[in-house]
Amino acid sequence: MSCSEVLARAALDTLNVKTGDIIWIWASTHSLDLIEELALGIRLRGAYWSLKLVMESLLERVWREAPDEYLGQIPHHELRWLKDMTAVIEIQDHGGQVRGADPLRRRRMAAEWIALINEIGHSEVQIQSPLGHDLRLSYKGRPVYADKTNLPRGEVYVAPVESSVHGTITIEHAFLQGKDAGRLELGLNQGRLGRITGSESAVSLLQAILASARGEKDVIAEFAIGLNPGVTKLTGLVSLDEKMLGSVHIAIGMNKNFGGMNESNLHLDFVVPGQTVLLDGEPLIIDGRLKTGA
């Protein structure tokens, strides 16, 4: 089974797509293989699909050539279409960067996507630990990405609204400077690290890393979910561990390159299996198992 087939099946199972549903796929020409698997899977379940397809070269021409007054237009017809959609699958598979383009023009054009994302509604995440702790965050207005650049594939990630993040998360195996340093318990308030407890090794290593880093190094950067069924245990290699099916990971530090506000020379990931994740109060992951349809 190809990676595109695995990702498509996981997405459709998570959404519990069923007969009569209408699924809107947002993607670019970079993801034709995944689009095909999603569309086929949707039809095989008796549902319908629609496609919003972006050509990166066309986006670049619009950014460069369209009059300013047109760039910030809101697609009210698409907002109306959303009322008929059961779900939207957005594949963030291109950087959206245009060399030399005026940042103000880029922000005006982003108004279209922000309006659509805000209309969808899902935005609140709660991560519940078996230990009784929980972490809450919002990603309202932030783009959600599927990892298309690293191998193995199988991760969706977002830069949370930094000030929205509150609570505690426990990392049983904190891999720092190439080794399992043991347990870390991180308390966050308005997205910034506060209380840090755990094993002596883990706490001292994290404090040393933070002391040597610059910028917004201690602010939440990322929330992500692993979707690769081929990754079944932690290895200490973050690029592999973060793809573990049903795992979540958070990061602190830099996130400005994927929709956040933080500038730092640090981006530090912590992978946490076995959690329960609620999306707007509805379970998405239960004790580390991705919720699937019947």
Q: How far apart are CA 17 and CA 46, in angstroms?
A: 9
H helix runs in the chain, sequence order: 3-15, 32-44, 56-65, 68-71, 76-82, 103-120, 200-212, 238-241
**Please, which residues have CB within 8 angstroms of residue 204's CB and are 6 or more apart in sequence?**
none
| 147 vs 268: which has the higher pLDDT | 268
Residues 75-78: contacts with CB within 8 Å, 24+ apart? 75/112, 75/115, 75/116, 78/52, 78/116
CATH of 1-120, one of 3.30.70.940, 3.40.1830.10, 3.55.10.10, 1.10.3720.10: 3.40.1830.10
pLDDT value at position 294? 34
Contact 37, 10 (CB under 8 A): no
Contact 39, 22 (CB under 8 A): no
Give the CA angle between residues 222, 223, 228 to the nearest 5°.
120
In angstroms, what CA-CA distances link 136 with 188, 223, 279? 10, 11, 10
Task: Say whether pTM exceeds 0.85.
Answer: no
Q: Which amino acid is at 277?
A: V
Handedness of CA 129, 130, 133, 134 (dihedral sign): positive
How many CB atoms are located within 10 Å of the residue 50 CB?
15
Q: List, by residue range, all CATH 3.40.1830.10 domains of the chain.
A: 1-120
pLDDT of 113 above 80: no
pLDDT value at position 112? 77
pLDDT value at position 79? 87
Give the CA angle between residues 257, 258, 262 to the nearest 5°.
60
Task: Categorize the per-residue pLDDT at 286 as very low, low, confident or very high, splitting at 50, 70 and 90.
Answer: very high
Instruction: Write out pLDDT tens, residues 33-76.
Output: 999 999 999 999 999 999 999 888 888 888 888 898 888 888 88
Burial class (CB in 10 A: 0-12, 13-18, 19+), 78: middle
